[in-house]
């Protein structure tokens, strides 16, 4: 579904991604892990058209999208749940969700909007309870649920997640990762950027390890969890704790 070949991305004269290549097949959950500053957010921003790539190729369903505008990429089926959520704080939960569908045709929205709202509310019932509440007054976990729900409202084929666990309590993190792991059953492919490698790899099919803008390791998620270098650098003590 997504194939990235030798992508180079820079901010001015500062090179961030160095000939990076990876792929995500339809129906997969793929985790991209690495330390802060490794280039994870830059990669997602490059895929979604927020930051231009200098060289290389980004193919989505066989179509080159490297120079495609961000709104067009959403229309093609890629939805990006950004780091920090970036909600419209003064607007209600309901209105934030409606904005997630802004790139869809009026006919499509008219036919399916109620169905899509029901799907989001079924996944995150608390959002239905808070539907008229301002987004900025929600808890951190509720805001992350809303950001995910807003991304779903675009009816994507693929979702990009950037650090969805940031700032959340462990119990809330578990709920968020459980929800992301269920996306494959909804026919939505996932590329998950996450500093918390243990949590990400537990729900992923495959993973990539990114260091200073380069892929240094990749493989099945369960094998990466058992890799000593990954354990040392990213999992830390207690990585074998049961996820409850």
β-partners of residue 14 are 11
Cα distance between residue 9 and residue 105, in whole Å: 32
Cα distance between residue 221 and residue 206, in whole Å: 4
Q: For the chain, what is the radius of gyration of the CA atoms?
A: 18
Give the full edge-to-edge strand order of the sheet including 2-11. 14-24, 2-11, 55-60, 63-64
**Stated pTM of the model:** 0.90
Convert the pLDDT of each residue in 163-219 to its tens digit. Answer: 998 888 888 999 999 999 889 889 999 999 988 888 899 999 999 999 999 999 999
β-partners of residue 79 are 159
User: How many Cα neighbours within 13 Å face the side chain of 31?
Assistant: 31
Strands 214-220 and 206-211: antiparallel
Sign of CA dihedral 99, 103, 104, 105: positive
Q: Using 50, 70 and 90 to split pLDDT, how confident is the model at 7?
A: very high
Cα distance between residue 213 and residue 53, in whole Å: 13
What is residue 128's DSSP assignment? H
In order of their start, the domains of the chain are: 1-77+156-244 (3.40.50.300), 84-155 (no CATH)
Cα distance between residue 204 and residue 209, in whole Å: 13
User: How many Cα neighbours within 13 Å face the side chain of 57?
Assistant: 10
Q: Which residue has the tokens 């058209």?
A: 49
Convert the pLDDT of each residue in 102-132 to its tens digit. Answer: 887 777 766 778 899 999 999 999 999 999 9
């Amino acid at each position: 579904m997504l194939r990235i070949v030798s992508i180079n991305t820079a901010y001015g004269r500062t090179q961030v991604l160095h000939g990076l290549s990876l792929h995500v097949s339809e129906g997969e959950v793929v985790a991209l892990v690495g330390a802060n500053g490794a280039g994870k957010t830059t990669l997602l921003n490059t895929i979604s058209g927020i930051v231009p790539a200098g060289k290389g190729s980004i193919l989505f369903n066989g179509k080159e999208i490297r120079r495609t505008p961000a709104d067009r990429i959403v229309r093609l089926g890629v939805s990006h749940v950004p780091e920090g959520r970036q909600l419209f704080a003064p607007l209600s939960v309901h209105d934030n969700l409606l904005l997630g569908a802004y790139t869809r045709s009026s006919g499509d929205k008219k036919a399916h909007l109620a169905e899509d709202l029901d799907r989001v509310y079924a996944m995150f019932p608390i959002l239905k309870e808070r539907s008229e509440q301002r987004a900025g007054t929600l808890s951190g976990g509720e805001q992350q649920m809303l950001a995910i729900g807003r991304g779903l409202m675009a009816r994507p084929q693929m979702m990009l997640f950037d650090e969805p666990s940031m700032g959340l309590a462990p119990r809330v993190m578990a709920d968020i990762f459980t929800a992301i792991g269920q996306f494959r059953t909804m026919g939505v492919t996932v590329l998950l950027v996450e500093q918390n490698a243990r949590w990400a790899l537990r729900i992923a099919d495959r993973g990539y390890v990114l260091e200073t803008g380069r892929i240094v390791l990749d493989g099945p998620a369960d094998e990466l969890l058992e890799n000593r270098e990954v354990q040392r650098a990213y999992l830390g003590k207690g990585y074998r704790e049961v996820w409850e």
